[in-house]
Amino acid sequence: MSPALKALDEPEKSRVVEEKTPDWVNPMLATLTHDHFDDSDWIYERKLDGQRCLIFKDGDGVKIYSRNQNLLNDKYPELLDALEQAASESYVADGEIVVMEDGVSNFAALQPRMHSSQPDLSIPVHLYLFDLLHFDGHKLTELPTRTRKKLLKSSLNFQDPLRYTQHRNESGLAYLEHACRKNWEGLIAKDAEAPYRHSRSKKWLKFKCDNRQEFVVCGFTEPSGSRVGFGALLVGVYEDDKLRYCGRVGTGFDDDFLESFRETLDQIEDECPIDLGKPGDEAIHWVKPEKVVEVSFTEWTSEWKLRHPSFIGLRNDKNATDVVREGPK
């Protein structure tokens, strides 16, 4: 057992289990809430807008996986050496890969790194780590959040491009106000005493500054005027395993994306996949519900339609069937 683990008090040490480093674990996911609060038993982290990942280091080296278990080593080679050198021991850590611009994580700027087979190293990335799940042959997930973060900070060597995700105690409302002034996406509030669970949980909560979430691409329309590629994307979410139509997204695209994504859409054109709320009989190209996009919007209507939606980016780190309407639980 490492010195950091030996230094735990006896009640916490009893919650540490000797276990071989796993090949994979599901990440813990946060639940969106609009009931923001201050609480001395919670911590508050900056919500980063990037690609969630899990890091596995053992005798075979380092593996970086997306949340849907895609290996990312080839996309982010500059992270591998830093993660190898971060600790001599084996470990599993949780984090987010981001591109920072003027102190703000920019998901759109990360898109070329996420979707290119040849990494463009002129686009620098950082990996913010915020949790430690295994260390030196021991499972840590039953330890409290605050303890796991202390172990993460003390056990790994954080040198660029690796960064430790700072947090604040108690003052969630003031920190959220600060986050929104800085144009951050929001905060993640975490129960400081909670264990790590490999599922969505109310022990981690999303405090958002604006409305945005993932949607499944269901179809598209033809461009008009000088527009290239396509006119708008028709998007939806799953509701009880049925795909519900949520509206169309026609802004936020550049010409390069309009042209390249049209080629992708043409390859998956299919019958209408929508089960609920299908739009009228206008000229729509339907596609297989495989592609996932992130969209910002002002609000939901009572009919489950989006007001003023705008495209943020394409996501390849989330399965389409996992996309549901986010909202307070």
Residues 16 and 122 in one domain: yes
Nearest partner of 290 among 204, 186, 215, 183, judged by Cα: 215
Last residue of a domain, one of 208, 230, 256: 208
Task: Identify whether 261 is part of a domain.
Answer: yes
Q: What is the pLDDT of residue 90?
A: 97
Count of structural domains within the chain: 2
212-257, pLDDT tens digit by residue? 999 999 999 999 999 999 999 999 999 999 999 999 999 999 999 9
Domain that includes residue 286, residue range: 211-322
pLDDT band at 328 (very low <50, low <70, confident <90, very high): low
Q: Give the pair of three-digit tokens for residue 160.
A: 């660029």
- Buried b / exposed e over 195-231, threshold 16 CB at 10 Å, is bbeeebbebbbbbbbebbbbbbbbbbbebeeeeebbb
159-168, pLDDT tens digit by residue? 999 999 999 9
Domain harbouring 150, CATH code: 3.30.470.30
Cα angle, residue 272 at apex, residues 262 and 260 outer, rounded to 5° = 5
pTM: 0.84
83-142, pLDDT tens digit by residue? 999 999 999 999 999 999 999 999 999 999 998 888 899 999 999 999 999 999 999 999
Report the 10 Å Cβ neighbour count for 32: 16
Catalytic residue, from 6, 13, 20, 47: name it.
47
181-191, pLDDT tens digit by residue? 998 999 999 99
Share of the chain above pLDDT 90, in %: 90
Residues 52 and 68 in one domain: yes
Nearest partner of 247 among 227, 276, 210, 211, judged by Cα: 276
145-180, pLDDT tens digit by residue? 999 999 999 999 999 999 999 999 999 999 999 999
3: exposed, middle or buried (Cβ count in 10 Å: 0-12, 13-18, 19+): exposed
Residues 233 and 90 in one domain: no
Asked if 47 is an active-site residue, the reply is yes
